[in-house]
Amino acid sequence: MIATLISDFISDLKTQKMRAFLTVMAISWGTITIILLLTFGEGLKIQMARSLTGSGDRILKIYGGTTTREYQGLKKGRRIRFTEEDIPILKENIPQIEYISAQYGHWNAVLTHKKNSASTFAVGVYPSFEIMRTMYPQPGSRFLNEEDLKQKRRVLFMGWELAKRLFDEENPVGKIVTMDQIPFVVIGVMKEKFQNSMSNGPDAMRAVMPASTFRSIYGNRYVNQIVIRPKDPAEAEYVKQKIKHILSRRHKFDPDDKRAMPIWDFIEEEKITGKVFLGIQIFLGIVGSLTLIVAGVGVANIMFVVVKERTREIGIKMAVGARKAHILFQFLAESLLIAMTGGGIGIAFSLSVIQIMHMLPLEGGVWDFLGKPTLSPGIMIVTAFILGSIGVLSGFFPARRAAGVDPVESLRYE
């Protein structure tokens, strides 16, 4: 049965060589279009998620703001400021918090090493800041630790671009730099990472010191922000509500007053970004599918021609006992074979293009935003489903016509 089916399929292709070639190529082109569109969309989604992670890994940033509502007899317009004393209270009362850190900031800190100098935004933080802000050190260096914090050590961890400006090709670890004319020992340099979402400048130019050291040098009483990472992202909303409840009681403001305590929620940003790129991928998938649908019309046309040319053959088969289901299956199978042949060529070509692009050194500029095409199992499943659907639908109506042939009338057909 299968051998006969394949033999008839090859015979039909020989009879309609040009039409069959163009149809297979149309299916191939449609397959290439949908795979490349979806893989570029997947690569873009991964790159944007990576960029967001470069700014913070599932964190919440808590800021002090200005009240816009009267509360317990206090007028609106009051400035709300948080201190490090708030941090142990939050940690103690909200066990769902995994990491927490104060963050102080100072603009236009001038760093100097020999004849090189650079201006940057310096921050004072806790050791947990490394994980929350994905500031991982290069080999042979380290981030801040608890002893640095307790002893108010004058140690500095810096971004890779800042280190390059100050030290050129020299290894900065263990070297002395002055920041605002105060000497610091460089303990680490950050690994390079992609980041297009940032506050107060890129991490590549960041100078990081212990929060205790920062406070002793610059005398800040109030923190710029409190950075928190919940143990479970699913509990982020609960953690936010608990933070509002605790801090609003301590600092006397309405917990529903959003401007009194702005919160930058990276977890919510990640969800929104995921939904946006899912929409983009659906749109790209629809565009690619339309190309395949046009190719499917070509498959239907060639199958109608085949049915017409084989009318006498179909009548003979039905006269000697072939059932309508057999005829229907035969033409559906041939339609699927055409779709799968074109699809197979398209998939092979697309995989080659993707492989070549991964081998090319596409870095920097626009490629930092677009990323490289990424083929996921979901894309292969969607492509196979669409190809199968096109094959079945484009073959169904010709097959139904073939199965509905009257054996007596077909034997008279010339």
Same structural domain, 191 and 244: no
Q: What is the largest CA-CA distance in the chain?
A: 104
Q: Residue 123 — pLDDT band, cuts 50, 70, 90?
A: very high
Q: Is residue 58 part of a domain?
A: no
Same structural domain, 107 and 224: yes
CB 191 within 8 Å of CB 136? yes
Final residue belonging to a domain, choices 261, 282, 312: 261
Q: Does pLDDT of 414 surpass 50?
A: no
Q: Tell me whether residue 88 is exposed, middle or buried, using C-beta atoms within 10 angstroms of its C-beta: 0 to 12, 13 to 18, 19 or more.
A: exposed
pLDDT value of position 301: 73
CA 142 – CA 190 distance, rounded (Å): 9
Looking up tokens 């400006």, which residue turns up? 165
Looking up tokens 């400035």, which residue turns up? 79
Same structural domain, 165 and 217: yes
Q: Does pLDDT of 110 surpass 90?
A: yes
Same structural domain, 116 and 207: yes
Tokens, residue 150:
């307790």
Same structural domain, 221 and 275: no
Give the number of domains in the chain.
3
> Across residues 359-380, what is the average pLDDT?
72
CA 38 – CA 285 distance, rounded (Å): 6
pLDDT value of position 366: 59
Q: Is residue 328 part of a domain?
A: yes
Strands 155-158 and 97-113: unpaired
Collect all residues with Cβ–Cβ distance below 8 Å to 354 and sequence separation of at least 6.
36, 39, 372, 373, 374, 375
Same structural domain, 125 and 69: no
Q: List pLDDT tens digits, range 90-109.
A: 999 999 999 999 999 999 99
Q: Is 123 helix (H, G, I), strand (E, B) or coil?
A: strand
Concatenating the DSSP letter of every residue in 233-283 gives: GGGHHHHHHHHHHHHHHHHT--TT-TTTS-EEEHHHHHHHHHHHHHHHHHH
CB 157 within 8 Å of CB 137? yes
State the chain's mean pLDDT as an integer. 83
Q: What percent of the chain has pLDDT over 70?
A: 80
CA 203 – CA 226 distance, rounded (Å): 18
Same structural domain, 244 and 222: no
Same structural domain, 223 and 237: no
Q: Residue 346 — pLDDT band, cuts 50, 70, 90?
A: confident
Q: Does pLDDT of 317 surpass 60?
A: yes
Q: Which of 170-179, 260-269, 343-352, 382-391 has the lowest mean pLDDT?
A: 382-391
pLDDT value of position 376: 81
Same structural domain, 109 and 174: yes
pLDDT value of position 413: 46
Concatenating the DSSP letter of every residue in 171-203 gives: --TT-EEEETTEEEEEEEEBPP---S--SSS-G
Q: Which of 68-82, 251-265, 272-286 has the lowest mean pLDDT?
A: 272-286
What backbone torsions phi and psi does residue 310 show, to the nearest 5 degrees? -110, 25
Q: What percent of the chain has pLDDT over 90?
A: 42
Same structural domain, 317 and 190: no
Final residue belonging to a domain, choices 176, 203, 228: 228
C-alpha distance from residue 102 to each of 6, 87, 186, 225, 352 (Å):
71, 7, 21, 6, 49
Same structural domain, 107 and 140: yes
Q: Does pLDDT of 22 surpass 90?
A: no
- The distance of Cα 378 from the centroid of its chain, to the nearest Å, equals 14
Q: Is residue 211 part of a domain?
A: yes
N-term to C-term CA, the chain: 27
Q: Which of 37-41, 164-168, 189-193 has the lowest mean pLDDT?
A: 37-41
Same structural domain, 405 and 279: yes
| 231 or 271, higher pLDDT | 231
Range of the domain at 107: 100-228
